[in-house]
Amino acid sequence: MDENELAMLGDSVREVLQSECPHDMVLRHVDGEDLREPLWRTVKDLGWTALSAGEEYGGLGLGPDALALLYRELGTALAPVPLLPTLIASELLYRFGNAEQRSEWLGGIAAGERRVALMQMGATPLRLVRSGSSVKLYGTAEHVLELKGADLALVLARSDEGETARVMIHLQEDGVVAFEQPLVDVTRSFGKLRLDALQLPAGRVLGGPQLEHAIACHGTLAIAADSTGGADTILALTVEYLKTREQFGRLIGSFQALKHRCADHKMALVAAEAILDDAVSSTAADQEAWPDLSAAKVAASEAYAALAQDAVQLHGGIGFTWEHVCHLFLKRAKLNQSLFGSTGWHLDQIGRQLAA
């Protein structure tokens, strides 16, 4: 997409989220009013689930620049919509699935008729046993992102011979019971699946030497973009608060020490955004771009976490209350540090690439 088309897409996504998912509605979601289902219907109707699928399967075939823009706006809104695993599954099927797998799953996923949950990379794999035209899965799939309300789950498995693969589970059809794993960040959900010799057709297995790397690339880009959107928003909210709150007869925004803290956060955020822009450009040229994506994720998630933590303090007493959005940004930022590889893991990837 050219710059004008990207700008139009960004304006459209932002306008929808500001209308359908303002921060006060997210606070009500935290208090028990479900926002996931109405948001999913909106996302599906607008075709956001089709961004990364090929046009021949009902998708839009857009690149990483459009995806990064979408994820940034979702982070700005703190949107509790389970979109990321579905978009990852769509990309994986399009790039690595065979004709039968694409035909069975991709159209429904791109249309938003099927929601996909994704077992986190780095989680303990299930045991995969092949037997003719079927496979069996043993173990517990933990840290399955957005399992709540999902139709499909793409779980990580490994055979006794060392083969690593992803296996698609139809949660209802296969009779698998999902268990919720509580998260502090309730804008997202984790769950687990206990499997005891679950027998599935061999066609449910999705493999390939680059499969896990592709998951890491997409997830890393998404979390980096989400982090820049969230960080930019909480910084703007904090600066605005400093302009209105008075202490000792003065606006606290006039205190030099607080100005310095905000300036430091702004510098870290600008640097993170620049690194992310470079990573998006690199990914557009090479889908396996690395270590640019790792650098973007580290810079963005660390800047976001530091800023969100400081924002609570800079808001004073109100920043610690349940009724203010500060804690939502902080919780999302802390989870972003861990999703799709911790900071330490990504720094290790960067080091390995530089040493190669």
Report the half-sphere exposure of 143 (CA within 13 A, side-chain side): 13
Residues 6+ apart with CB under 8 A from 63: 1, 283, 284
What mean pLDDT do residues 232-249 have? 83
Residues of the chain with CATH 2.40.110.10: 116-206
CA distances in angstroms from 56 to 40, 115, 187, 317, 331, listed in the order given = 23, 20, 33, 54, 39
285: number of Cβ within 10 Å:
9
Question: 101: closest CA among 213, 176, 211, 18?
Answer: 211
What mean pLDDT do residues 184-194 have? 94
Q: So what's the pLDDT on residue 253?
A: 57
What pLDDT band is residue 269 in, cutting at 50, 70 and 90?
very high
Whether a cis peptide bond, with omega within 30° of 0, leads into 291 is yes
Amino acid at site 164: T
15 vs 9: CA distance, rounded Å: 10
Q: So what's the pLDDT on residue 287?
A: 56
Helix (H) or strand (E) holding 292: helix 292-314
pLDDT over 80 at 246, yes or no: no
Residues of the chain with CATH 1.20.140.10: 211-355
What mean pLDDT do residues 24-28 have? 95
Residues 6+ apart with CB under 8 A from 137: 126, 127, 128, 129, 155, 157, 167, 169, 195, 197, 198, 200
pLDDT (tens digit, 9 = 90+) per residue, 94-153? 999 999 999 999 999 999 999 999 999 989 999 999 988 999 999 999 999 999 999 999
117: number of Cβ within 10 Å:
28
Residues of the chain with CATH 1.10.540.10: 3-110
Q: What percent of the chain lies above the pLDDT cut of 90?
A: 72
Please, what is the Cα angle at 286 between 124 and 157, to 5 degrees? Answer: 15
Q: So what's the pLDDT on residue 168?
A: 97
Distance from CA of residue 233 to its chain's centroid? Answer: 17
Question: 109: closest CA among 158, 43, 29?
Answer: 43
Please, what is the Cα angle at 168 between 284 and 208, to 5 degrees? Answer: 50
Q: Tokens for 283?
A: 């990914």
- The fold adopted by the segment(s) 116-206 is Butyryl-CoA Dehydrogenase, subunit A; domain 2 (2.40.110)
Where does 3-110 sit in CATH, by number? 1.10.540.10
293 vs 132: CA distance, rounded Å: 39
Q: So what's the pLDDT on residue 249?
A: 64
Q: So what's the pLDDT on residue 59?
A: 80
Task: For domain 211-355, give its CATH number from 3.40.1280.10, 1.20.140.10, 3.40.30.20, 2.30.33.40.
Answer: 1.20.140.10
49 vs 70: CA distance, rounded Å: 11
Please, what is the Cα angle at 243 between 238 and 248, to 5 degrees? Answer: 110
pLDDT over 70 at 316, yes or no: yes
106 vs 325: CA distance, rounded Å: 36
Distance from CA of residue 98 to its chain's centroid? Answer: 26
Phi, psi of 266, rounded to the nearest 5 degrees: -65, -40
pTM of this structure: 0.94
Q: What percent of the chain lies above the pLDDT cut of 70?
A: 96
80 vs 78: CA distance, rounded Å: 6
354: number of Cβ within 10 Å:
8
